[in-house]
Structure 1
Amino acid sequence: RSYIQVIAGGQEGDMTTGREKRWSLAGATALVTGGSKGIGRAIVEELAGFGARVHTCSRNAAELEECRRQWEEEELSVTVSVCDVSVRAAREKLMETVRESFHGKLDILVNNAGQLRNEPTYKEPRH
């Protein structure tokens, strides 16, 4: 048995029974920022796989559209929008989109979007 089968309570060859019984997110809504790649994408897919309706955003429209197509083929309930969460107006528009899509109900928020800066957090003053 795989690790996910063990934690979800499934038997060999039966991934969904345990997941649906113990980890169901049917009826739940989720927003995952930065969901077009990496950890964010994995979170989107897991939440949707457990039955949640998920909205995700990314700055990269092309990546986001490719993900949307794949999720649609897999019949996952995921909607998408382009958003740069570092811009206040874009965040406000994102929240309005989510509010309308989920009729004001948001159960899960994953603030995953971020940018790695390759610089020290502190610079020692030179004497």
Structure 2
Amino acid sequence: MSESREQRWSLKGMTALVTGGTRGIGHAIVEELTAFGAIVHTCSRNETELNERIQEWKSKGLKVSGSACDLKIRAERQKLMETVCSEFDGKLNILVSSSAKVPFELLISEKLKIQPENSVPR
């Protein structure tokens, strides 16, 4: 039995965090992940822009939430992860680092147990 393309690429039930999701590639990734069924949380330093994007996505029926966060500040990164953990009941399937000037390593912690082979080489 052949599965359809939609079934093969379905992200239904998956959760994703996309940093820098209000502009450029991050914005496109948020829209694509939700189009495939994922529930997405994104963040931006610019709270006004973030709220505008969230309203835009909600008007399209996309499942996106967001947080204002400066990823260069450790306390804000920790708060972001606490928010995501709470919102997704501790389940994060996809992490996309699309924010400018913030190394991927700052986004992960020992607790996440992410192995280097699971990340895309830069």
1:45 aligns with 2:31: yes
Cα offsets for 1:94-123 (capped at 9, x unmatched): 00000000000000000111149xxxxxxx
Alignment match, 2:71: 85
Partner Cα separation in structure 1 for residue 31 and residue 53 of structure 2:
10
Alignment match, 1:94: 80
Alignment match, 2:56: 70
Partner Cα separation in structure 2 for residue 102 and residue 29 of structure 1:
7
Alignment match, 2:100: 114
1:103 aligns with 2:89: yes
The equivalent position to 1:35 in structure 2, one of 21, 24, 43, is 21
Structure 1 or 2, whichever has the larger Rg, is 1
Once the two structures are TM-superposed, the CA of residue 62 in structure 1 deviates from its matched residue by 1.1
Structure 1 vs Structure 2: percent identity of aligned residues?
58
Unpaired runs of 5+ in structure 2?
Answer: 103-122
Alignment match, 2:106: none
Alignment match, 2:10: 24
The one-letter amino acid paired with 1:99 is C
The one-letter amino acid paired with 1:38 is G
- The structure 1 segments of at least 4 consecutive aligned residues displaced by more than 2 Å after TM superposition are none
Cα offsets for 1:49-81 (capped at 9, x unmatched): 100000000001111111000100111010011
Partner Cα separation in structure 2 for residue 106 and residue 66 of structure 1:
24
Once the two structures are TM-superposed, the CA of residue 21 in structure 1 deviates from its matched residue by 2.0
Using structure 1 for the length normalisation, give the TM-score: 0.75
The one-letter amino acid paired with 2:95 is L
The one-letter amino acid paired with 2:25 is I
Give the length in aligned residue pairs. Answer: 99
